[in-house]
A and B are shown apart, each in its own frame.
Chain A
Amino acid sequence: MTAGGRAGGRTALALARRGLCHALLLASSCLVGLPFVWMLSLSAKPPEEIFDAGFALFPDRWYLLENYGKALTEHPLLLFLANGVIVCGAILVLQILVCAPAAYALAKLRFHGRDLMFAFVLIGLLIPQQVLAIPLFALAHRLGILDTYAALVFPFIVSPFGIFLFRQFFKTVPDDLIHAARLDGLSEMAIVWRLMVPLAWPAVVAFSIFSVVSHWNDLFWPLIVIRSEELMPPPLGVVAFNDEEAGSDYGPLMAAATVIVSPLIVAFLFAQRWFVDGLSMGAMK
């Protein structure tokens, strides 16, 4: 009896602790998730309810069709999405084309100045994009590519983060595997594409998500280099809503925002498993 009571006390304590943990986690995830939920909620409300003093998650009058219809028809939202796909796709492909060979060289080849090069990569990681905006803008102007897709893509082709992540991953590949590949007749480039990249697949997926998310959501750089509406990526397009409707038409705005983030959420759900793998494996060695 006593033993049972003590054991019961212990489980109660453990339960309480776990409950507390979960309460904290729940609270913090609410904090993070609330704006998102609020966006969803607003995208379903009619204009007069949006500025209601009260707090209601669900609208009294569902206004989904009207808001989403307006978002999709009044502005070329699908065009913005297509722009986003083109720009993010181009950035990602070029980034991997540049990062994988660079990371392989830094991880597995011996040459003078390798450590110095890697130090530059690390420094590159520390410099925020905004610092370079003016020189990059000047460069784009000189190249005559302002207000084109090229202007949206070129500053991001070399990604220090990608080089760093791939290098950490490539370092864990045993040298014998590379030696075997060389004896089997693979060139250094073939080693990168036939051996290293497939082996580092989780890292490639993780990097792809990082890259796509950050460039899909980027407003700063498109705002600087893009004027034509038909070239605007999604966030810039949403800002265009805001401007012209003088901030009063929040329902369609939130509907547009929902449409814009949904591809990312779907993509993340698909790639989730590799994403976590890729980050933790990179971190371990």
Chain B
Amino acid sequence: MSAGVVLDRVSKRFGTESVLADVSLEIRDGEFLTLLGPSGCGKSTLLRIIAGLEAQDAGSVFIAGRRADRLRAKERDIAMVFQTYALYPHLTVAENMALPLKMRRMCLAQRLPGIGRLWPGRKAVARSIRDDVAATARALEIAHLMHRKPGQLSGGQRQRVAVGRAVVREPSVFLMDEPLSNLDAKLRVVMRAEIKQLHQRLGATILYVTHDQSEAMTLSDRVAVMHRGTLAQVGTPQAIYADPENLRVAEFVGSPMINTLSAIVASPSGVVLDGVALPLRTGLPAGGAVTLGLRPEAVSLAPAPGAGLLNGTVRLLEHMGAELLVHVALDGGETLTAKLDVARAGLVAVGRAVAIRPHLDQVLVFAADGRRLRCADHGGAVPASRGARA
């Protein structure tokens, strides 16, 4: 049985440092939600609070509609996959996976070494545990590793065992704390797909912590971007990418990073960037400063300089296979990265002058304090696709 998790104004401080400030978030039943943020933003602490391994200073955690603040970790019916896998090094893979079941299904007397075997009913319980462990191991393709110890496994195998130990007892919520960060790049992509499949197969609620935005974008139903102990934005991966709340979210999500260019407000319906007038509505009085956010794919190459085009010189070319990243030094001194189809590679060369056309409908406008300005009348934002916010 899966279950939803609700966080209500959770706060935590370590000494004088505030790690989490009034975090409220709803993780729906069966949802895959990712907490995304740079290291030190409090996402792992939040996970530990939900698991009951750490106590919050204020606020409440609800699991399956039940207030869980006073429940101990083992009473919350939550399983966690750790970044370090946290497998018990002195137990075999089979014993690692059986331990959580043993602790739940056997009474104290049955668990005792030696004499526990003589206790009535132990045999049946032991068989049920063995069967469940074997079934999970088959599903995760680790059945051939059952008698090895964690020290004899590769990183990917350990990761599978760690997932297996979490899956085998069928918890209502899974917490995953950067489970892929210790794997090499290739394996990470494979395991990423497997975790996605696991979620589809189990229909479980998964709360996933990562600092890797590509993991967050590919895995999640919704992404919660965290910054300095607060939630910067919660929404679908598409909404987070196309419609960020503020400059920080826009900068954190997307690779290569979004281009940020400073511009001056010329009139409520136009800005000036590098001496080039762009018809962008800001609603701000003339003379104010704004930041324009341009995704690398939100620009294209113009055949010749002209009105509304940014002029610059190509500084660097990066071939990415199907795409070409062009680093341009604009005449005004700013730099810009453009993502072009590799078919256009013939048009650019390092040192050549180019004209860049910004796609005005995709330009994101941010106020000086990083807040997103949404009064642009060209419809850069797509309100319909915005995810629900907590």
Shortest CB distance B104–A (Å):
6
Of A183, A185, A186, the contact of B80 (CB 8 Å cutoff):
A183
Interface presence of A69 (CB below 8 A): no
Q: Are the CB atoms of A176 and B100 closer together than 8 Å?
A: no
Query: What residues of A have a CB within 8 angstroms of the CB of B169 in the complex?
Result: 184
Q: Given the interface contacts A198-B90, A199-B90, does A183 sit within 8 Å of B84 by beta carbon? A: no
Q: Are the CB atoms of B103 and A182 closer together than 8 Å?
A: no
Interface presence of B241 (CB below 8 A): no
Q: Are the CB atoms of A186 and B103 closer together than 8 Å?
A: yes
A-B pair count, CB < 8 Å, reads 55
Shortest CB distance B3–A (Å):
15
Would you give the 0/1 interface string for B44-81, flagging 1 where the beta carbon is closer than 8 Å to chain A? 00001001110000000000000000001110001110
Would you give the 0/1 interface string for A56-80, flagging 1 where the beta carbon is closer than 8 Å to chain B? 0000000000000000000000000
Q: Are the CB atoms of A180 and B103 closer together than 8 Å?
A: no
How far apart are the CA atoms of A190 and B86 in the complex, in Å?
17
Q: Which label, helix, strand, loop or mixed, suits the secondary structure of the A interface?
A: helix
Would you give the 0/1 interface string for A176-201, flagging 1 where the beta carbon is closer than 8 Å to chain B? 11011111111000100011001101
Q: Are the CB atoms of A176 and B103 closer together than 8 Å?
A: no
Interface presence of A247 (CB below 8 A): no
Task: State which size class the interface on B falls in.
Answer: 20 to 34
Query: What residues of A have a CB within 8 angstroms of the CB of B104 in the complex?
Result: 185
**Which B residue sits closest to A182, measured CB to CB?**
B73
Query: What residues of A have a CB within 8 angstroms of the CB of B87 in the complex?
Result: 180
Q: Given the interface contacts A185-B103, A186-B103, A190-B103, does A180 sit within 8 Å of B89 by beta carbon? A: no
Q: Are the CB atoms of B100 and A182 closer together than 8 Å?
A: no
Query: What residues of A have a CB within 8 angstroms of the CB of B82 in the complex?
Result: 176, 179-180
Query: What residues of B have a CB within 8 angstroms of the CB of A177 in the complex?
Result: 86, 88
**Which B residue sits closest to A197, measured CB to CB?**
B90
Interface presence of A4 (CB below 8 A): no
How far apart are the CA atoms of A199 and B86 in the complex, in Å?
13
Of B52, B72, B80, B90, the contact of A180 (CB 8 Å cutoff):
B80
Interface presence of A174 (CB below 8 A): yes
Query: What residues of B have a CB within 8 angstroms of the CB of A185 in the complex?
Result: 74, 100, 103-104
Q: Are the CB atoms of A182 and B53 closer together than 8 Å?
A: yes
Interface presence of B367 (CB below 8 A): no
Q: Given the interface contacts A174-B86, A184-B165, A185-B74, does A179 sit within 8 Å of B80 by beta carbon? A: yes
Interface presence of B99 (CB below 8 A): yes
- Of A174, A184, A198, the most chain B CB neighbours within 10 A belong to A184
Q: Are the CB atoms of A179 and B53 closer together than 8 Å?
A: yes
- Of B86, B87, B100, B169, the most chain A CB neighbours within 10 A belong to B86
Query: What residues of A have a CB within 8 angstroms of the CB of B89 in the complex?
Result: 199
Q: Given the interface contacts A174-B84, A176-B82, A190-B103, does A182 sit within 8 Å of B90 by beta carbon? A: no
**Which A residue sits closest to B72, measured CB to CB?**
A182
**Which B residue sits closest to A181, measured CB to CB?**
B88
**Which B residue sits closest to A190, measured CB to CB?**
B103
Shortest CB distance A87–B (Å):
25
Q: Among residues 87 to 138 in chain B, which have CB atoms less than 8 Å away from a CB atom of chain A? A: 87-90, 99-100, 103-104
Q: Are the CB atoms of B53 and A183 closer together than 8 Å?
A: yes
- Of A179, A180, A185, the most chain B CB neighbours within 10 A belong to A180
Shortest CB distance B74–A (Å):
4
**Which A residue sits closest to B89, measured CB to CB?**
A199
Of A174, A183, A194, the contact of B79 (CB 8 Å cutoff):
A183
Q: Given the interface contacts A182-B74, A183-B79, does A176 sit within 8 Å of B84 by beta carbon? A: yes
**Which A residue sits closest to B105, measured CB to CB?**
A185
**Which A residue sits closest to B73, measured CB to CB?**
A182
How far apart are the CA atoms of A186 and B72 in the complex, in Å?
11
Q: Among residues 181 to 240 in chain A, which have CB atoms less than 8 Å away from a CB atom of chain B? A: 181-186, 190, 194-195, 198-199, 201
Q: Given the interface contacts A184-B165, A185-B74, A199-B89, does A179 sit within 8 Å of B51 by beta carbon? A: yes
Query: What residues of A have a CB within 8 angstroms of the CB of B99 in the complex?
Result: 184, 186, 194
How far apart are the CA atoms of A181 and B80 in the complex, in Å?
10
Query: What residues of B have a CB within 8 angstroms of the CB of A190 in the complex?
Result: 103
**Which B residue sits closest to A194, measured CB to CB?**
B99
Q: Among residues 140 to 193 in chain B, which have CB atoms less than 8 Å away from a CB atom of chain A? A: 165, 169
Of A179, A182, A195, the contact of B88 (CB 8 Å cutoff):
A195
Q: Are the CB atoms of B86 and A180 closer together than 8 Å?
A: yes
Shortest CB distance B82–A (Å):
5
How far apart are the CA atoms of A185 and B71 in the complex, in Å?
12
How far apart are the CA atoms of A40 and B87 in the complex, in Å?
50
How far apart are the CA atoms of A182 and B86 in the complex, in Å?
12
Closest 4 CB pairs of A and B: A185-B103, A184-B100, A180-B86, A176-B86
17 additional A-B pairs beyond A174-B86, A176-B82, A199-B89, beta carbons within 8 Å, are: A176-B83, A177-B88, A179-B73, A179-B82, A182-B72, A182-B73, A182-B74, A183-B53, A184-B74, A184-B103, A184-B165, A185-B103, A186-B74, A186-B99, A186-B103, A195-B88, A199-B90
5 contacts between A and B (CB under 8 A): A179-B86, A184-B165, A186-B74, A186-B99, A194-B99
